[in-house]
Every structure is written in structure tokens, then in C-alpha cells.
């Protein structure tokens, strides 16, 4: 197994499932760009509550970065060609929402909503 980081776009939506032991987990597929317009599918599973919540909050096509354990695989497409894929057991998920929140926290100031200044006459 390989520890790795991947980034890509969620393909479809994440799904909650229940194992034979009754423990819930989440599965998802991520399309990661590998160059020359090619993409690589990463089959993701997570047992972490925080990673699961982050994946379930995303929609099809949302950008996501994941950290976890990778296992290389090969699958056959409908034309009979062998294609590479990765299986990942994700331990951490980072989304655009998390990045914005961390940037605000690093600045040490909550961004207040914009308030207009000056005289306004909204009579129409």
C-alpha cells in the first residue's frame, strides 16, 4: 500500500453504506487528471466520520483533495482495453470550503458582511 494525496473532481455523489458489522462508511469516485487530457478514476472509501461528512456535502463535479492509503488496480472498459485505477482508503478530505475557512482563521479576523456607507435614497 502507498500513502498518497490525490486531487480531482467528484464523479457522481458520495454514498453512505453499511458493512456486515453494522458500521457505516462512505464510498465515492474521484476523477483525477493525469496529463494529456487523460483522467484516472480513484475509488474512495472512508470510515472517518469527518471525511465522510465532507464527502457527503459535495455534489457531482465539486473539487476535492484526499489523503489516504492507495492501492493500484486495473479495470477493463467496454472496448476491452485495460485501464488503470486506484483504490483509496481516505483519512482526510479537503474541499474549497475548508480552504476558505482556514484562510479566514489564519487571518485572525472574521470577515464581516459588507455594509453600505453614505446617503442612499432608494425611492423608486
- Residue 53, in any domain of the structure: yes
- Residue 120, in any domain of the structure: no
Q: Residue 65 — φ and ψ, nearest 5°?
A: -125, 140
Give the global pTM: 0.74
Residue-wise pLDDT for 75-93, tens only, equals: 898 999 998 889 999 999 9
- For residue 67, the cross-strand partners are 5, 92
- Residue 124, in any domain of the structure: no
- Residue 59, in any domain of the structure: yes
Residue 76: which CATH number?
Answer: 2.40.50.140
- Residue 116, in any domain of the structure: no
- Residue 55, in any domain of the structure: yes
Residue-wise pLDDT for 46-65, tens only, equals: 999 999 999 999 999 999 99
What range does the domain containing 78 cover?
Answer: 2-107
Q: Is 25 exposed, middle or buried (0-12, 13-18, 19+ CB in 10 A)?
A: middle
Counted domains in the chain = 1
- Residue 121, in any domain of the structure: no
HSE (side-chain half, CA atoms, 13 Å) at 48: 15
Question: What distance separates the 2 farthest-apart alpha carbons in the chain?
Answer: 70
Report pLDDT for 46.
97
- Residue 67, in any domain of the structure: yes
Give Cβ neighbours of residue 57 (< 8 Å, ≥ 6 apart).
Answer: 95, 97
| Cα gap 71→39, rounded to integer Å | 17
Amino acid at each position: 500500500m502507498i500513502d498518497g494525496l490525490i486531487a480531482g473532481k467528484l464523479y457522481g455523489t458520495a454514498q453512505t453504506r453499511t458493512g456486515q458489522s453494522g458500521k457505516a462508511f462512505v464510498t465515492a469516485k474521484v476523477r483525477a487528471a493525469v496529463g494529456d487530457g487523460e483522467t484516472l478514476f480513484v475509488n474512495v472509501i472512508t470510515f472517518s466520520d469527518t471525511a465522510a461528512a465532507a464527502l457527503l456535502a459535495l455534489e457531482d463535479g465539486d473539487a476535492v483533495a484526499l489523503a489516504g492509503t492507495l492501492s493500484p488496480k486495473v479495470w477493463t472498459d467496454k472496448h476491452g482495453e485495460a485501464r488503470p485505477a486506484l483504490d483509496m482508503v481516505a483519512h482526510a478530505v479537503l474541499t474549497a470550503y475548508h480552504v476558505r475557512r482556514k484562510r479566514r482563521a489564519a487571518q485572525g479576523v472574521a470577515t464581516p458582511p459588507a455594509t453600505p456607507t453614505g446617503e442612499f435614497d432608494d425611492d423608486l
